[in-house]
Amino acid sequence: MARKSFPSVWARPPKRQRDQPSLSREQIVSAAIELLDAEGIDALSMRKLGIRLNAAAASMYTHVAGKDELVELVVDEIYGEVEPPRPGQWRTAATRFAHDLRSTFLRHPWIGSLLGEAGVAYLGPNVLMLSEATLALFEDAGFSLDDADLALNTVMAYVVGRATSEAAWLTTLNRSGQTEQAWKAQLWPAAEQAVREYPRLKKLYAAQRNQKPDETNNADFERGLECVLDGLATKLP
């Protein structure tokens, strides 16, 4: 008999306790994250995961029907590393939340590549908990529930977009085997040559020539986040 398929791992009914194999869902997800951290996005496969766990396919497929469901679980687990916003002054709490989310993405630079494959990851328990806490923060500050939802989605879009770009850069650096400073020094002459006919870009590049890349990224993230929060503040009654 063919296995029944489900549209998402979150739609899969829990197995009865007596049917549980020795391998748990938590072990599978943990091993997948370890594999991704060690070898990157290209290493993720059910075969490699089975080898890492020294487990037969049947043991894994009891919990995870395939790679699509595994991705949903992994993405939700990473969001579980982000501390939900605590009640308090909304801008302070939202800023702390945004920085924590960015740091989490940069610890796992492959996560951005998985988001497009994550299906209905928004139904995962960690994502739901983060969303509920952030909605409560904005609603308590005076936003309507609709505007709180807008605020949540706007902050998430900004942080995920910025952090995904930064993570892609970190992945490129890791593959090169060079430090960020060494890579920048090697690339800079070509970059200056490329923008020589674009005065605004030329001016920006010249200003950034001697800046440390990590300091520039941090400062740019902070400035952009302030702009996002300034815009959201206009929705308050």
The whole-number pLDDT of residue 2 equals: 44
Please write the tens of the pLDDT for every residue from 154-205.
Answer: 999 999 999 998 888 877 877 778 787 788 788 888 988 999 999 999 998 8
The confidence band for 114, taking pLDDT boundaries of 50, 70 and 90, is confident
Which ranges of the chain does DSSP label H, i.e. alpha helix? 25-39, 46-53, 57-61, 67-79, 90-107, 111-115, 125-141, 145-176, 180-194, 199-208, 213-233
CATH number given to 81-233: 1.10.357.10
Query: May I ask the CATH class of domain 22-65?
Result: mainly alpha
Nearest to 138 by CA among 147, 128, 148: 148
Q: Over range 59-63, report the average pLDDT.
A: 75
Say which amino acid occupies 110. W
**Token pair in block for residue 233:** 């503040």
The whole-number pLDDT of residue 14 equals: 65
Whole-number Å distance between alpha carbons of 15 and 17: 6
More confident residue, 68 or 139: 139
Burial class (CB within 10 angstroms; exposed 0-12, middle 13-18, buried 19+) of 89: exposed
Whole-number Å distance between alpha carbons of 19 and 77: 24
Please write the tens of the pLDDT for every residue from 9-43.
Answer: 766 666 655 555 568 889 989 999 999 999 888 88
> Which sequence spans correspond to the domains of the chain?
22-65, 81-233
More confident residue, 95 or 186: 95
**Token pair in block for residue 214:** 């990590």
State yes or no: pLDDT of 94 exceeds 90. Answer: yes
> Model pTM?
0.84
